Structure 1
Amino acid sequence: MNDREALYMGTHDIRNAKKGASNVRNITYELIESQVDSSIPQPKVTAIHEEDQELARQLETLLRNEARRLNLLAINDKQERTVPIQGGDFFHIEWNPAAGYHCTLGDVDVTERHPRQVIPQPGIYSLDKMDYVFVLIAQSKRAIEERYNVTIEDSTEEDPEIRGDDETTIPGMVTQNIAYYKKDGKVGVFSWVWDTVLEDYPDYYARMGKVCSKCGRKQVGDRCVCGNKKFVDRPVETITLTSDLVLNDGTMISAMQRGPDQPIMNPDGSYQRDDATGELIMMPGELYATEIPAYKPSGFPIVLRQNISAEGRLLGISDVDVIADQQEAIKKFGTKIEEKLLKGGSYLTLPRNVNIETSDREIKKIPLDNPSQKSLIDVYNVQPNTSYDQQMLETNYSWAKSALGITDAFQGKYDSSATSGSAKQFSANQSAGRLQSKREMKNDAYAQLYRKIFQFLLAYADENYPITEVDSTGEQQWSHFDRMQFLKRDASGELYWNDEFIIEVDPASNLASNRERLWDMIDVKYQAGGFGPINELDSQYLLWTLLKNTNFPYAGEVQKAIKQRMEEQKQQEQQMAQMQGGGMVDMG
């Protein structure tokens, strides 16, 4: 990994050579930067049940809000370099209880984890099939002690190389080791620094709650119904309702339920009976809080983004590995060209014992003993031939571009093979087609990330989560995401959490990132009558609504002006209709 990043940074070291390069043409950096895509694939949610279409729309809005709040632009910018350099990179998803808005407790955190920070199970090349995976994080000692309420004696780093810059330990920094593992159908976590244990949860996704140490019931008051007063923290499988809940199908779940009727007992321990019938006299059962099942995410909280998938590898194929030979050859040829040019120059021949003046005067004197010495004065220009070296350098550069599928047209350079603008566009599209596999792997990683975010919010977002969106008319709308809307009852009467949605990314989001091209396409559709007659206000309103949704400058002001004209026109039509109706009555 360090060797790959050194090539990307333009190292002067030459493989299997004692002497380093004096001049480096960094094609590795150039070709990787040519592929950088700063756009964030936007989530697209599709319901697989007809009654869940509105929930799918709300979930899509929530995930779009999260994509903007989590600042995925910075993470994507790192991954656009790390993925082609190392062959892959990771998202790490966690629930942060200290995050969230003013009216919410906790929120999702997404962090980029370099491949050197993730140690997978050997021999397994899919995260979903692994039994365990390790994550190593460089943290400050103080932050660890404050977060986990522990005292760490050793304040040095166990694995300083995971930071990537060097292997020198930094005072005050420690290495946090996190192990995620699967056991008995659950995901557990064990975390430590040196010999200090930070976390040990066999059921990582389970909620923790106070339960009776004797019977295991949830704590309600200072004393359990069994009489025990001692409570401990343990994973709980249910959530206690604090208010009545109305499901999407209209059925209501009461927050309090009454247990079965109990017979009334006499002081002597016998049951009271009706004197006439002899039946037991019953009293209403005790009220208790309603419990609903708790949702738990599945799988490890890590998502892999691959570069180019390959059999028998967790990370994909690295672009640096593909063009490493060409980069090494270019360093050699570049150094050889420079040495040849520097060793060449002009040579002056003079007779023996004749010295020339070395001042900066325009006319200099050369003392000669006789006229024949003049013929011995001459200048010879020695210029080496570097054409073959230059040709091999450019040939290796062409090989590297061909291996990665990058053309001059794709890079925006002059392309001699393109005889027209259409041919140049076709060449660029061909290159984009070869790189489509990398985009599909990026889209797949973001789709998995969005599903993980949904699972965490479905499990832990107890409060209604504020969301905002722009409706079809271009107006800003505000609402809340209530996870209880995803609670359903099956045919047997059992409650379950509905996470049955197809979560993918919207291919049109990449086009939306190229705003100028998108605006040109909208103009073409408008001129072709795709919005209706171009002279009507309704058509113009639709046009500027769409331009506003795509962030065209000042489109909102134009849209409001057109809407005002539409309202004025409607009022005039109503007045004309009233006047015509009144005239007809008078004539009658």
Structure 2
Amino acid sequence: MKTRKAAVRPAKLDIWQRRLADSDAAWKPEMERMDRREHLYSGDRELRALTKGDEGQKAPHIRNIVFENIESQVSSAIPSPKVTPRRKEDEGLADKIEHWLRCELDRLPFETINDQAERTVPIQGGVGFLVAWDNRKRTHDTVGEEEVAMLHPKQFAPQPGIYTGIQDMDWFIVRQAATKESIRRRYGVNVENEGEQEPQVRGTGDEDTADDAVTMYIGYAKNDQGGIDRYVWVNDIELEDLENYQARRVPVCAHCGRVRPLPGQIIQNRQAVAETAEQDAVAAETRKQIAGRALALQLAQEVAAGIGGGLEAMAAEVAAEPPEAEAERYDGGPCPWCGSTNWTTKEQEYEEVILPITNSSGLTIPGQHPEIDENGRSVMRPTRIPFYRPDVFPVVLQKSVSVYGQLLGNSDVDVIEDQQNTTNRMEKKIIDRLVKAGTRITLPAKATLRTDPVDGERWFLDSPADKAMIDVYQFSGDLQYELTYLATVYEEARQVLGITDSFQGRTDPTATSGKAKEFSAAQAAGRLESKRTMKQAAYAQLFELMFKFWLAYSDEPRPISYKDNEGNTVFEEISRYDFLKQDEDGQFYWDDQFLFSCDTSAPLASNREAMWQETRMNLQTGAFGDPSSTETLILFWSKMEELHYPGAGSTKKYLEERLRREQQQAAQAQQIQLQILAMQAQNNRRGASSPSTSPTTSLRTGDAAQGG
């Protein structure tokens, strides 16, 4: 474990901290508004002064119209991927990408991610998605898994002055709260003595610093070669500095430059380091020379001594490698060759293919093949193919409604904040009036009369004037105007956001029929269409980024499953080598020319009850065929099984068994019919042959008579 000294200050740390300071100067006011929005969504009771005397007051009871209107827009539907190929021959690959993306949506916690984003986007005006490849997640036959996490806008530290999008920036910083132990495990750096710099990143701004947490900063920057650099630090401690971090890398020793062996790999005789072709050739030539000299020496000895035989065996024994000692395996720790404990990484531009690989399109990637080196000797060289690199920022931004000159979209909380404050003020006034309402009794100033219910109690009054002062007054607290204005303010908030009663599922007095309610809800949906469009655009970018990261880092084929047209589950594999192409010059390149979008039919497909009704209607209208036909019913129940209708699978199996019996009965009936037709044909042939004997007999009789 490494412990960084405070005196050693990397040069890049100053650059990135200066960038962070520049971003904070422009982004801090926005972060303060974010805290205010979160408080309003949670039900803040603080009143903004409307009249003199309102300063510092709090409402005892509020109607949270911010929460109500935002929750009305929440949708649990996750956009479904749609991949369109640019070339006709890539249609099969586009289908595989779609199936793989759907499997990834099921594997990753997108239900939780979407639920958080559906509330954060209208509150703050946007949200981010961070895509990463975690090579530590491994199974028996795969290495690495893709990870997607949601980023709150408070975790952004964007480059100032760039509002068109994250990909247009030169650098971008992400704030993340991390535990000290997780940093030690991942980076090998001890930050136990460091404190949390920005605890407000973890919540609404009221969080206290945690003893076991620190604020980690991850900076991404574009370099001159078109790649993406990554720099990670905590306070004044550098954790990681990677140039072209999206390129393939191998751990190497910082002293001798040899590749670090895997745990359990044999290191005896330097077997963990692959010799170059030139070293192999020199070693082979040296062994040949030794074998030749040994053979000549042995031959001379045999001629002199008269001993024959065994020359080839001895030559082979001399030419062979010296006997290996017991194999040693690497179990971690320092470099097994030089003993250094400092490890670094080395970028790999090409992948070396030893064994031939044939992808799904029929392209064969040759393995090792003989070549002539610069010394004129024949060597075996592997086929080199370039590694794929995404070379894009790993952050996707989803906006609420695009606003010119803002990185984030429009916030719903900002546009109805005034209505929420007015509602809180009117609620306080209504409560005050109701509390003050009730019964009031007037008494003389010097009277000590009891007002509790005691029968027969005597009151002694000084004069008739005192008796005239005794009276009871009822205060009802008229709220007519306050309630009317409160309803008006609430309607203002809904109209600003374009939300109607039908969209909220409430009773709509303006809609007198089912069609009218659908039309009213459609109107609200039309005004909110921009938000859905921006969500689909963000998910389309997210799907493309997920595909590029998989194409760059997934070495092994990954299993995928999907439903075919008949409702059967199909299991296949997708391999990154399927996307490897070869041009006319023989150069290999990766095919990533696909168009990513969202399937617009996904909301209907996610509504199972609506799909059940549509499928029943298709059956009744004859869209599947004759509704009374068993084959049509099997197709219908296959669709219902695909839509997860309860009991559809067992009904389908019963109908398939009935169809099998019907086919057997039909085959038997056809066989019987064929037998009947064969018997009739045989009888017809017999009937045709019986009258033919009579003419012959008559002819012969006639001939005999004529002859006689």
**TM-score, L = length of structure 2:** 0.76
1:400 Cα deviation from its structure 2 partner:
0.5
Aligned to 1:275: none
| CA spacing shift, 1:153–1:212, aligned 2, 3 Å | closer
What is the one-letter code of the residue matched to 1:6? H
Aligned to 2:423: 330
Aligned to 1:143: 182
1:349 Cα deviation from its structure 2 partner:
3.6
Q: Determine the C-alpha separation between the residues in 1 that align with 2:77 and 2:451.
A: 66
Aligned to 1:540: 633
Q: Determine the C-alpha separation between the residues in 2 that align with 1:444 and 1:262.
A: 53
Aligned to 1:133: 172
Aligned to 2:267: none
The gaps in structure 2 that reach 5 residues or longer are 1-33, 50-54, 261-271, 281-336, 683-708
Contact 1:5-1:85 at 8 Å conserved across structures = yes
Quick one: which of 222, 247, 270 aligns to 1:182? 222
Contact 1:155-1:171 at 8 Å conserved across structures = no
| CA spacing shift, 1:365–1:35, aligned 2, 3 Å | farther
Aligned to 1:207: 248
Summarize the alignment of residues 45-124 of structure 1 with structure 2, pairs less than 5 Å apart. 45-124=83-162
Deviates more, 1:488-497 or 1:300-309: 488-497
1:395 Cα deviation from its structure 2 partner:
0.9
Aligned to 1:9: 42
Contact 2:233-2:239 at 8 Å conserved across structures = yes
1:350 Cα deviation from its structure 2 partner:
4.8
Summarize the alignment of residues 469-480 of structure 1 with structure 2, pairs less than 5 Å apart. 469-480=562-573
Q: Which whole-Å deviations, capped at 9, do the CAs of 1:61-102 have from their partners, x for residues lacking one? A: 100000010010000000111000000000011101122543
Quick one: which of 346, 349, 357 aligns to 1:245? 357
What is the one-letter code of the residue matched to 2:234? V
What is the one-letter code of the residue matched to 1:90? G
Q: Determine the C-alpha separation between the residues in 2 that align with 1:470 and 1:316.
A: 38
Quick one: which of 506, 513, 527 aligns to 1:420? 513
1:251 Cα deviation from its structure 2 partner:
3.7
Q: Determine the C-alpha separation between the residues in 1 that align with 2:455 and 2:602.
A: 73
Deviates more, 1:288-297 or 1:364-373: 364-373
1:490 Cα deviation from its structure 2 partner:
1.9
Q: Which whole-Å deviations, capped at 9, do the CAs of 1:202-252 have from their partners, x for residues lacking one? A: 101100136899999999835445669999731111112142112444342
Deviates more, 1:512-521 or 1:347-356: 347-356
Aligned to 1:196: 237
Deviates more, 1:16-25 or 1:207-216: 207-216
What is the one-letter code of the residue matched to 2:622? G
- Output the aligned Cα RMSD: 2.6
Quick one: which of 269, 273, 281 aligns to 1:221? 273
1:261 Cα deviation from its structure 2 partner:
7.3
Contact 2:194-2:235 at 8 Å conserved across structures = no
Contact 1:512-1:518 at 8 Å conserved across structures = yes
| CA spacing shift, 1:366–1:142, aligned 2, 3 Å | same
Is residue 557 from structure 1 mapped to residue 650 from structure 2 by the alignment?
A: yes
Contact 1:92-1:113 at 8 Å conserved across structures = yes
Contact 2:277-2:379 at 8 Å conserved across structures = no
1:463 Cα deviation from its structure 2 partner:
0.8
Residue 176 of structure 2: SS of its match in structure 1? strand
Quick one: which of 451, 455, 468 aligns to 1:364? 455
Aligned to 1:20: 58
Contact 1:354-1:368 at 8 Å conserved across structures = no
Q: How many matched pairs? A: 566
Is residue 504 from structure 1 mapped to residue 537 from structure 2 by the alignment?
A: no
Q: Determine the C-alpha separation between the residues in 1 that align with 2:147 and 2:227.
A: 22
1:579 Cα deviation from its structure 2 partner:
1.9
Quick one: which of 522, 528, 531 aligns to 2:615? 522
What is the one-letter code of the residue matched to 1:171? D
Q: Determine the C-alpha separation between the residues in 1 that align with 2:515 and 2:373.
A: 83
Q: Determine the C-alpha separation between the residues in 2 that align with 1:329 and 1:198.
A: 49
Is residue 317 from structure 1 mapped to residue 369 from structure 2 by the alignment?
A: no
Q: Which whole-Å deviations, capped at 9, do the CAs of 1:124-145 have from their partners, x for residues lacking one? A: 1111111000001000000110
Is residue 295 from structure 1 mapped to residue 384 from structure 2 by the alignment?
A: no
**TM-score, L = length of structure 1:** 0.91
Q: Which whole-Å deviations, capped at 9, do the CAs of 1:287-331 have from their partners, x for residues lacking one? A: 011111111113100010110111111100000011111111111
Residue 526 of structure 2: SS of its match in structure 1? helix
Q: Determine the C-alpha separation between the residues in 2 that align with 1:142 and 1:212.
A: 25
Residue 96 of structure 1: SS of its match in structure 2? strand
1:394 Cα deviation from its structure 2 partner:
1.1
Q: Determine the C-alpha separation between the residues in 1 that align with 2:652 and 2:596.
A: 33
Residue 84 of structure 2: SS of its match in structure 1? strand
Residue 473 of structure 2: SS of its match in structure 1? strand
| CA spacing shift, 1:213–1:85, aligned 2, 3 Å | closer
1:543 Cα deviation from its structure 2 partner:
1.3
**Higher percent of residues as helix:** 2
What is the one-letter code of the residue matched to 1:111? A
Quick one: which of 167, 174, 196 aligns to 1:157? 196
Residue 395 of structure 1: SS of its match in structure 2? helix
Aligned to 1:488: 581
Residue 73 of structure 2: SS of its match in structure 1? coil
Q: Determine the C-alpha separation between the residues in 1 that align with 2:447 and 2:160.
A: 78
Please tell me whether Structure 1 or Structure 2 has the larger radius of gyration of its CA atoms: 2
Summarize the alignment of residues 261-272 of structure 1 with structure 2, pairs less than 5 Å apart. none
Aligned to 2:268: none
What is the one-letter code of the residue matched to 1:549? E
Q: Determine the C-alpha separation between the residues in 1 that align with 2:230 and 2:375.
A: 48
| CA spacing shift, 1:250–1:515, aligned 2, 3 Å | closer
| CA spacing shift, 1:100–1:571, aligned 2, 3 Å | farther
Summarize the alignment of residues 446-457 of structure 1 with structure 2, pairs less than 5 Å apart. 446-457=539-550
Q: Determine the C-alpha separation between the residues in 2 that align with 1:295 and 1:215.
A: 28
Aligned to 2:693: none
Quick one: which of 73, 95, 104 aligns to 1:35? 73
Q: Determine the C-alpha separation between the residues in 2 that align with 1:213 and 1:195.
A: 24
Residue 97 of structure 1: SS of its match in structure 2? strand
Contact 1:21-1:332 at 8 Å conserved across structures = yes
Q: Determine the C-alpha separation between the residues in 2 that align with 1:218 and 1:581.
A: 78
Residue 292 of structure 1: SS of its match in structure 2? strand
Deviates more, 1:293-302 or 1:233-242: 233-242
| CA spacing shift, 1:101–1:64, aligned 2, 3 Å | farther
1:585 Cα deviation from its structure 2 partner:
2.3
Aligned to 2:210: 170
Contact 2:563-2:642 at 8 Å conserved across structures = yes
1:44 Cα deviation from its structure 2 partner:
1.3
1:560 Cα deviation from its structure 2 partner:
1.4
| CA spacing shift, 1:212–1:80, aligned 2, 3 Å | closer
Contact 1:368-1:374 at 8 Å conserved across structures = no
Q: Determine the C-alpha separation between the residues in 2 that align with 1:251 and 1:508.
A: 35
Aligned to 1:355: 449
Q: Determine the C-alpha separation between the residues in 2 that align with 1:101 and 1:504.
A: 31
Deviates more, 1:416-425 or 1:430-439: 416-425
Deviates more, 1:138-147 or 1:506-515: 506-515
Contact 2:175-2:218 at 8 Å conserved across structures = yes
1:354 Cα deviation from its structure 2 partner:
6.0
1:379 Cα deviation from its structure 2 partner:
2.5
1:194 Cα deviation from its structure 2 partner:
1.8
Residue 577 of structure 1: SS of its match in structure 2? helix
Q: Determine the C-alpha separation between the residues in 2 that align with 1:29 and 1:349.
A: 46
Q: Determine the C-alpha separation between the residues in 1 that align with 2:352 and 2:274.
A: 17
| CA spacing shift, 1:333–1:232, aligned 2, 3 Å | closer
Q: Which whole-Å deviations, capped at 9, do the CAs of 1:143-189 have from their partners, x for residues lacking one? A: 11011111124331111111124241100101110000001211110
Identity %: 39
Q: Which whole-Å deviations, capped at 9, do the CAs of 1:380-407 have from their partners, x for residues lacking one? A: 1112322222222111111110000000
